[in-house]
Amino acid sequence: MKLNRLVGFSVASALCVASTTWAADTTVAPAKAAKPAPEVWLNLFDGKTLSGWDGLRDHWTARDGVIAGTTTKGNALKNNTFLVWTNGTVANFELHFRYRIIPGDSQGFGNSGVQYRSKLIDPVNFIVGGYQADFEAGSTYSGILYEERGRGILAERGQQTRIVSDNGQTKVVKVAQLAPSAALQANIRKEDWNDYVVIADGNHLMHFINHRLTADVVDEQPDKGAKEGILALQLHAGPPMLVEFKDIQLKRLP
């Protein structure tokens, strides 16, 4: 599947263009623009197998173009577990993927996300900590920036924030409300496929769901904010659930 069917354009390129102001000069012929370098996108999933990924194989499967993580009453989890991408680490990047999450019981529970610039804490149970692009079956957390086994919520949905140190403690400073959380939730398709984009550029982190910016964070704690680490898919402990991922593509940024 071609990338432009996922989001229609490169979000990073669009943001760059949007932030540039052009001044017309009719007296001087414009210089010939340099030909831009081609974008290099990596397909992280072959659509058939879990080659390049590692996790608890009794919870993760791959078929028909989809990676699926499943818990049942008879095969539950005591801790959150992750399917780890094993073909490298990520630093500055743009990540595109599609997800669908379906609760397995009447409670409607289902929570997942994608870890980035993270660390593998327990290689036996595949427990990971670090930045997480969160999503859920509920109506509160999809699109937030959460730090698993770390500083917790770094931006609620719809927030632009700065993460600073205050007397040795982490302080989340709200800079602006990008959009009402309820409006962003209304843009998310329940129990259906949604497009997710994550951009990490230095200490600037952004999440988008279905073309809408859901979190915009500048992490000003260099001793705690990771600059590089692993990429991993989350399967949450708790009631039964099914989470699915597909069209996982990565572009490394300078």
109 alpha carbon, distance to own chain's centre: 20
Q: What is the pLDDT of residues 83-93, one digit of tens each?
A: 999 999 999 99
Query: 18 or 235: which carries more pLDDT confidence?
Result: 235
Q: Which CATH architecture has domain 3-20+41-252?
A: Sandwich (2.60)
Does 81 have pLDDT greater than 90?
yes
Q: How does pLDDT run across 193-223, given as a tens digit for each residue? A: 999 999 999 999 999 999 999 999 999 999 9
Q: Which letter does DSSP use for residue 30 in this model?
A: P
